[in-house]
Amino acid sequence: MKALRWHGPRDLRLVDLLEPSLRPREVRIRVAYCGICGSDLHEYVDGPHAIPVDCPHPISGRRAPLTLGHEFCGTVVESADPGVAVDARVAIEPEYRCGACDYCLRGQYNRCTSMGFIGLMGDGGMAESVVVPSYTVHPLPDEVGFDQAAALEPAAVALHAVRMSGLQAGDACAVFGMGPVGLLTVAMLRQCGAGDVIAVDVNAKRLAMAGSMGASGAVDASREDSTSAILGATSGRGAAIAFEVAGSQATLDATLGCLRKGGEAMLVGLMGKAQVDIFDTVNRELRLTASVGYRDVFPTLIAWTARGLIDPAAIVTRKVSLRHAVPQGFDALLADKGQVKVLVAPFDADPE
């Protein structure tokens, strides 16, 4: 089978591999689509960040070189779990969990002490087939297309962040960063009963997409000050909750700055050390919370998609073959911020 493997920064190789045999409670998936994530881009540009190079991951037992891709779906072609049927169409929830640590026993498996992602800490979905633990598999009803199912993973990040926030119906919200997760956060806030949802980015195409995902307002931070724009849009009150999905000091400053007193900054974007004005944070009784990965959201997302309440595929801007995944996928995403989500289709010679 063909697979796109990470060997090092700027070194992704399309290779032919033998299919591994299944261990108990594993299933083999014939991949329909696998999305390219921002974290895959980071690994490509200047990794390793999450990819284990020296020590194998405790659950997958794998280290580099390994196959990228954690946003995928497909058809079960072989199953070593009586609970998973061959031929089932499935989406993958790509979080490894040990099932035995304190967090797993509480059902908080995204906090597992051995937590890791398929496609970063083990072989992933940018391949013709992939072997995954059966607990990661969610059956898809016929109403959910594979292009929608491949975008469920970033939608899961978004919905978990909304659930981790203290969102109340009608709350005015701001979302900073209209990448895939930011755009889907807009859609989840709309679906979960938020009031005004103001999208902030510096790219006009992405802001236009935010409008079609349900944003009530759009702020182009390259043209105007986002803090004052959000204060203006909320009659001077400020946002109840602001989601930081860009991962920069400037957007963190604006995320905190646009909040009303008692408001909540939900941190989703990744960055290293940053500065926070604690004097201001204390005096305005702000809350800083964080969200990582997801738990218990895939079934809800699949049901919402099947009923037409959300469309995760709305973020997809291009589909490419496995053969062209690097130039037309990875490189295109780096060169053009108008590209949002590129899906890799291992079995289509040239899907677009």
Binding site for Zn ion (CB under 5 A): 37, 98, 101, 104, 112
Residues paired with 270 in a beta bridge: none
For residue 16, the minimal CB distance to Zn ion (Å) is: 26
Residue placing its CB nearer to Zn ion in the complex, 238 or 346: 346
Closer residue to Zn ion (CB): 29 or 118: 118
- Distance in Å, CB of 228 to Zn ion, minimum: 32
Give the nearest distance from C-beta 69 to Zn ion in angstroms: 9
Q: Residue 72 or residue 194: which is nearer to Zn ion going by CB?
A: 72
Q: Is 248 exposed, middle or buried (0-12, 13-18, 19+ CB in 10 A)?
A: middle
Nearer to Zn ion, 86 or 100 (CB): 100
Rounded to the nearest whole angstrom, what is the least distance from the CB of residue 84 to Zn ion in the complex? 21
| Closest by CA position to 39, among listed 119, 99, 130 | 119
- Judged by beta carbon, residue 98 or residue 306, the one nearer Zn ion is 98
Which residues are CB-neighbours of 289 under 8 A, at least 6 positions away?
164, 165, 264, 265, 266, 267
Residue closer to Zn ion by CB (options 26, 196) is 26
Reduced 3-state DSSP string for the chain = CEEEEEEECCEEEEEECCCCCCCCCEEEEEEEEEECCHHHHHHHHHCCCCCCCCCCCCCCCCCCCEECCCEEEEEEEEECCCCCCCCCEEEECCEECCCCCHHHHCCCHHHCCCCEEECCCECCCCECEEEEEHHHEEECCCCCCHHHHHCHHHHHHHHHHHHHCCCCCCCCEEEECCCHHHHHHHHHHHHCCCCCEEEEECCHHHHHHHHHCCCCEEEECCCCCHHHHHHHHCCCCCEEEEEECCCCHHHHHHHHHCEEEEEEEEECCCCCCCCCCHHHHHHCCCEEEECCCCCCCHHHHHHHHHCCCCCHHHHEEEEEECCCHHHHHHHHHHHCCCCCEEEEECCCCCCC
Whole-number minimum distance, CB 256 to Zn ion, in Å?
25
Considering the complex, state which of residue 103 and residue 304 has its C-beta at the smaller distance from Zn ion.
103
Nearer to Zn ion, 102 or 143 (CB): 102
Tell me how far, at minimum, the Cβ of 55 lies from Zn ion, in Å.
18
CA distance 92 to 94: 6
Nearest approach, Cβ of 97 to Zn ion (angstroms)? 5
CA gap 136, 97 in Å, rounded: 9
The least distance separating Zn ion from the CB of residue 271, rounded to whole angstroms, comes to: 16
Pick 163 or 284: Cβ nearer Zn ion? 163
Least separation, in Å, of the C-beta of 85 and Zn ion? 27
